[in-house]
Amino acid sequence: MEYRKIKNNEPQLLSLTGLPLKKLEELSKEFSIEFSSHASSRTFEGKPGMRLYKPGKTGSLPAMEDKLFFILVFMKTSPLQQHHAAGFGITQPEANMFIHLFVPPLRKTLKRPGEMPQGKSIYLEDILKNCADVLPDGTERPVQRPSDHQTADEYYSGKKNAQRKE
């Protein structure tokens, strides 16, 4: 997969990354800043250390848009690393290294404009306050079954296993 080929196919780009071309280009500028900052304070393996980041013209992901496209496709589709590597024409160890290298700057980039999903249930409670027609799905609940066989049969739903034989 190459970003330059897929960017002209809007439905395919949207299905692979979840973003339209205009939004992806805006995100690319922010990602470039975060990635340059992250790469200059880390070694290529992602460990803390100082190095001068110079974007290369050759390589498997030469442009910043290619790097962003690579990690967005991975984050959206969650393929096996081997499958993702084959799609981008690289090896699985390279894919693994790129994934670990690109995720931290992507998270910082998404936090900037407030697009990073929040993992706290407090926000869900705020959203649900304004919704009157929300029905939680609670089809099964654990029940302590009595040790007496006749009383225990009253609590048996019949859904999981065949009825208990005496």
- Domain regions of the chain by residue span: 3-52+59-111
Cβ pair 117, 124 in contact under 8 A: no
Q: What is the pLDDT of residues 81-140, one digit of tens each?
A: 999 999 999 999 999 989 988 998 998 888 865 555 555 555 666 767 777 776 666 666
Residue with tokens 């975060």, as numbered in its chain:
34
**With bands split at pLDDT 50, 70 and 90, how would you rate the model's confidence at 162?**
very low
Helix axes 21-40, 64-77, angle to 10 degrees: 110
Nearest one of 55, 76, 74 to 64, comparing CA atoms: 55
Q: What is the pLDDT of residue 114?
A: 55
Q: What is the pLDDT of residue 71?
A: 93
Q: If you compute the radius of gyration of the chain from its CA atoms, what whole number of angstroms results?
A: 24
